[in-house]
Amino acid sequence: MLTNLQQQPADALLALIKLHNDDPRADKIDLGVGVYRTGEGDTPVFRSIKAAEAKLVAEQDSKAYLGPEGDMGFVEALMPYVFGKADPSMGGRIEGMQTPGGTGSLRLALAMVKRAGYSRIIVGVPSWPNHAQICADLGLEVVEFNHALASGTTDMDALRAAIADAREGDAILLHGCCHNPTGIDYSNAQWDEIAGLIAAAKILPILDLAYQGLGKGMEEDAYGLRRVLAAVPEALICYSCDKNFGLYRDRVGALYAMVGDPADLARVMSNGHNLARANWSQPPDHGGAAVRLVLEDETLTADWLAELDEMRERMREVRAKLAEAGTAGSADLTPMGGQNGLFSIVPLNKDQVLAMRTKHGVYMAGSGRINVAGLTMGNIDKFIAAVADVTA
């Protein structure tokens, strides 16, 4: 019976990694995989995480199962950073659970949405490819709207129209900050409007906060999420620590649910626990425990926040250099200066992306998406010249 399975296409981004690794050119540039890199091209373990791991190794006295909810100390320690220090639980209306990365959080959120009776998810495109893939696997219909204009700004008219056309029982999935793949975020004023539109339409917001701290700052990057939560009775929040703690391979995430009545919270979360048990049973412990230890120690917390500042500043320097270049060939790089996070889309067609790879050794997704952190002051001029060459 296994022979009835159909061949599935290889993941394009993973295939790109292999192509880059096999390229013998010393000056090749990898702008594909979405991990942070230093100015020297490394993806280091955070100092704060190293310190927490040393403490974990010295003090952890058991490897017993955590339960499907995971390390609740980790889940609760994150909440003031996500929801605000004044009232992180919104009066007992918010509770969370640990998940294997942001992907696990999204999978769980969308499975809960389907179990609750939702069938359509409104999603701005382009979006992270796994959003649509998870929806398809769960049998949820994706209703698309255009996220951004060619000018490098959000397409608010498209969003307004999508919400106006929403049906009762629809959900909307929004990136909280550092939009993947465009880097084009909503302004605070736009978030104010979006919150009101979602509340008026009575649709469920699913907020994907995968890059908090890598855009404008921890507080600034949470503005949109908090504004929406203040306006609606219910929401699901998907969180990833993979990027802002550098824990990519440890898969550290959390799912939070907000309800209108605190009395409903235990029932809602019981469904999260039940679905988790049927998927991964228990989340991995190590990464979540390390984050918890960082957030429980004022010195380690301060060092973590300083490391985030360093990362954000480096990416801002790269973006400023791209914007300063202006037009490279026929490609306008100026909008990248005002975008946020790891990603941006260079306006190249597939043939030009292929030429970037074959002629110049610059590896990027077929959509033109680049990982901005793959650029350094040592290779950015080569990148700009390559863009100019293939678009001339």
**Residue in 333, 258, 300 with CA at minimum distance from that of residue 83:** 258
Local confidence band at 33 (pLDDT 50, 70, 90 cut-offs): confident
Is the pLDDT at 268 greater than 90, yes or no?
Answer: yes
Based on the number of CB atoms within 10 Å of its own CB, is 164 exposed (0-12), middle (13-18) or buried (19 or more)?
A: exposed
Local confidence band at 23 (pLDDT 50, 70, 90 cut-offs): very high
Average per-residue pLDDT for the chain: 96
13-22, 35-44, 260-269, 375-384 — which is least confidently predicted?
A: 13-22
Is the pLDDT at 5 greater than 90, yes or no?
Answer: yes
Kindly list the structural domains of the chain, giving each domain's residue range(s) and its CATH number in brackets, ordered by start: 11-45+305-387 (3.90.1150.10), 65-296 (3.40.640.10)
Active site members: 128, 208, 243
Is the pLDDT at 9 greater than 90, yes or no?
Answer: no
The whole-number average pLDDT for the span 277-297 is 96
Residue-level pLDDT at 14: 79
Local confidence band at 60 (pLDDT 50, 70, 90 cut-offs): very high
- How far CA 122 is from CA of 85, 111, 162, 275, in Å, comes to 30, 15, 7, 23
Local confidence band at 10 (pLDDT 50, 70, 90 cut-offs): confident
Residue identified by tokens 């609750």 is: 116
